[in-house]
């Protein structure tokens, strides 16, 4: 029988996940179906219960349910526990296993696709919300020389950093006085055509400025970074790579991503 999966969110019509997983299934010869699922904002748990009862094998989770998905899980991955939010659920043997593949997707795109190693590098994370939370542990696993979080509300950044026992530093935007090797914009500012208040000296020609958002044209953050000499990259590759990580968790086989990423880029 065809194994059923879906992506759950509200709204959900914009999700590219069905297209991505259809390509992965065809590429790897996996017999699955994958659809969008619009869940009521006040009944995520009920939606999960229905999917399990209907025989679904797993689901991806997007806004606004990632934190709630972690809370209803019967078993959390280390990445899920560190983030406090998850984007991938697997329904196995009566349990709900939850993982966060966003950070793994980020690392795969930066290190493998962009060819920028993080080991020994100075990394600046902008933002301390859900997107940032999912990225901290995977970044630390790469062995950076320093990981610093800058957020408009310092207390939020300090609370996140405290979970990692001295391995993560916090700074105010105004305190940045030297370039970083990698700057990751984990805020949603680009959706509002805004740029976090970064001083230009945060960038240099060797800096990779990565925006988790993506669009047909460069985001305002990417434009700002490029204007100050940095190399830039958006979040489309991260989207594809986190989906590949979820697919591998479900099916035990990792799909290739290079050709799909090119096709999605050409269709933006």
16 is in an annotated binding site: yes
245 is in an annotated binding site: no
Catalytic: which of 4, 66, 262, 267?
66
214 is in an annotated binding site: yes
The verdict on whether 267 is a catalytic residue reads no
109 is in an annotated binding site: no
217 is in an annotated binding site: no
87 is in an annotated binding site: yes
The full 3-state SS of the chain, as one line of letters, equals CCEEEEEEECCCCCCCHHHHHHHHHHHHCCCEEEEEEECCCCCHHHHHHHHHHCCCCEEEECCCCHHHHHHHCCEECHHHHHHCCCCEEEEECCEEEEECCHHHHHHHHHHHHCCCCCCCCEEEEECCCHHHHHHHHHHHHCCCCEEEEECCCHHHHHHHHHCCCCCCEEECHHHCCCCCCEEEECCCHHHHCCCCCCCHHHCCCCCEEEECCCCCCCCHHHHHHHHCCCEEECCHHHHHHHHHHHHHHHHCCCCCCHHHHHHHHHHC
134 is in an annotated binding site: no
56 is in an annotated binding site: no
78 is in an annotated binding site: yes
62 is in an annotated binding site: yes
Q: What residues are annotated to the active site?
A: 66
Bind-site residues for shikimate: 15-17, 62, 87, 102, 214, 242
Bind-site residues for NADP(+): 78, 127-131, 212, 235
Bind-site residues: 15-17, 62, 78, 87, 102, 127-131, 212, 214, 235, 242
């Amino acid at each position: 029988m065809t194994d059923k999966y879906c992506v759950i969110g509200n709204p959900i019509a914009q999700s590219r996940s069905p297209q991505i997983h259809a390509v992965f299934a065809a590429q790897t010869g996996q017999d699955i179906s994958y659809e969008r699922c619009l869940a009521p904002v006040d009944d995520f748990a009920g939606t999960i219960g229905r999917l399990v009862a209907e025989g679904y094998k797993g689901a991806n989770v997007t806004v606004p349910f990632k934190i709630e998905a972690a809370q209803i899980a019967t078993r959390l991955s280390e990445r899920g526990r560190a983030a406090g939010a998850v984007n991938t659920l697997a329904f196995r043997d009566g349990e709900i296993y939850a993982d966060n593949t966003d950070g793994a997707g980020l690392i795969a795109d930066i290190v493998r696709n962009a060819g920028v190693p993080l080991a020994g590098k100075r990394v600046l994370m902008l933002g301390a919300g859900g997107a940032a939370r999912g990225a901290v542990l995977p970044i630390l696993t790469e062995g950076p020389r320093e990981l610093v979080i800058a957020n408009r509300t310092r207390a939020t950044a300090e609370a996140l950093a405290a979970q990692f026992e001295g391995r993560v530093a916090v700074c105010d935007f105004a305190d940045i006085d030297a370039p970083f090797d990698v700057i990751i914009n984990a805020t949603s500012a680009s959706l509002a055509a805004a740029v976090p208040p970064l001083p230009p000296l945060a960038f240099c020609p060797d800096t990779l400025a990565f925006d988790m958002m993506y669009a047909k044209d460069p985001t305002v953050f990417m434009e700002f970074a490029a204007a100050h000499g940095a190399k830039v990259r958006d979040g489309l590759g991260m989207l594809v790579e986190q989906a590949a990580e979820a697919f591998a968790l479900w099916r035990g086989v990792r799909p290739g991503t290079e050709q799909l990423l090119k096709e999605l880029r050409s269709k933006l």
